[in-house]
Amino acid sequence: MYVAGIDSSTQSTKVLVLDTDSGQVVRQGRASHPGGTEVDPGEWFTALQAAVTDAGGLEDVAALAVGGQQHGMVLLDADGQVIRPAQLWNDTKAAPAAAALVEEKGREFWAEAVGSVPVASLTVSKLRWIADNEPQNVGRIAAICLPHDWLTWKIMGSGRLEDLVTDRSDASGTGYVDCDDASYRYDILAHALRISEAEARQIILPRIAGPAEVVGEASAEFGGGKVAPGCGDNAGATLGLNLAHGEASVSLGTSGVVAARSDHPVRDAVGGVTGFMDASGQWLPLACTLNGSLVQDYFCRILGTDYKELDALAQAGEPGCGGMVMIPYFVGERTPNLPDATGRILNLRPEAMTRENFARLAFESLACHMRATLEAVRAGGIEISSAMVVGGGAKSSVLLQILADIMQIPLSLPAPGEYVAKGAARQAALAAGAELGPKWDPQVIKQVSPGQAPPSWEIFRKAMGDLL
């Protein structure tokens, strides 16, 4: 039996068709999305059609599911037409609106109610921005959904707003879903849009389906198979990695992300952890940093090296960098919430300032930053004893060893892959009734055990505390 997993990310749509018996990808397709922080959702549908064609069609697929970028705001009128371009997660113009929501209700209210304190990326902040900047559109809103919800709806093809459906993981990133029971908080929706709760209840929100529920059938264009609820991209990657309890995923990309499964909701009013739900009926507390592996790019430029030479220099550097520690908040920071912070280097001494130590400083500072992010997640009562590392930064074996040494947990590196799409395919396979064995688990190509911890983390932690 074949199933399909679709990843509609910020940059592109990927379609994987997998064999449920072997867990192997049998064919795949891809199509790009336009850039920007606002996008016409029709562009996603066009890309989906192109990616499906590139993958050889879905006529032989028993079930499919969509994983998608989170938080994007899609507003529909009574005829199911898109009212305005979708504001994406990376659209920051709602930052003042998010700050206003926090000031009006208080950080504790938001953490207790929905598990996340509003920031610009959350849907609830974008709705407040609409209320304040495009009030003429508020009265036109008949339905509000997220990118993956809209695509799932288009794949089923009924055109009825009542058929909109989502899942717990993506819904939990809106900022108006209760973090305990996954019910909509219409009082919060009304507050964000500056309307009455009675008016808010007239707006159609996607039904929140259970994990691996069959929510409908695909139209003939998409093969006519069963459709699963889909999920947000972070939850999709967790499914694709088959993350176990006690195991974190650490993503080293332009930003850094630490996420872990939990059997209870996490409510963090101060540390920057978002209390998302996962796609299996549990929770997925997640902390995201603004500063990630770009620190390597900065130091390649400063030292006049490429990545390979930076690795060699860092390997030759002194553990602890001769006492130097860097706080890599170059573009402000989200975890912890220090939007106006800048980078800084502490304990500069002449004997420490070698090219090798500066190269190692880039790696140790990133590792310390990710350790701090890990500790923020642990503070929610989550036990983490190991991690899987993904993202472009994971290509450096030197960085992986330094990360293991500073985090003091064993790390696993899975083979490169489209794990959001594979997670969506896993959900589709379960919806189709398939029994999935270990062949669906990711192939681990490298394991790294922690060595002696350098002194950097304790110095970093104290310096970070001085900034808070």
Residue 109: HSE in the Cβ half-sphere, 13 Å Cα cutoff: 11
Active site residue 233: yes
CB 14 within 8 A of CB 4: no
> Alpha-carbon distance 154 to 168, whole Å?
19
Residues sharing a CB contact under 8 Å with residue 421, sequence separation 6 or more, in sequence order = 5, 6, 7, 14, 15, 16, 67, 236, 240
Which residue type, as a one-letter code, is found at position 117? V
Bridge partners of 275, per DSSP, are: 285
> Alpha-carbon distance 353 to 116, whole Å?
41
Catalytic residue among 167, 233, 278, 405: 233
CA angle 272, 246, 425 (to 5 degrees): 85
Look-up of token digits 């985090």? 407
> Alpha-carbon distance 232 to 257, whole Å?
14
Following DSSP, what letter does each residue of 169-228 receive, concatenated?
HHHTTSS-B-TTT--B-HHHHHHHHTS-HHHHTTSB--EEEPTT---EE--GGGTS-EE-
**Catalytic amino acids?**
233
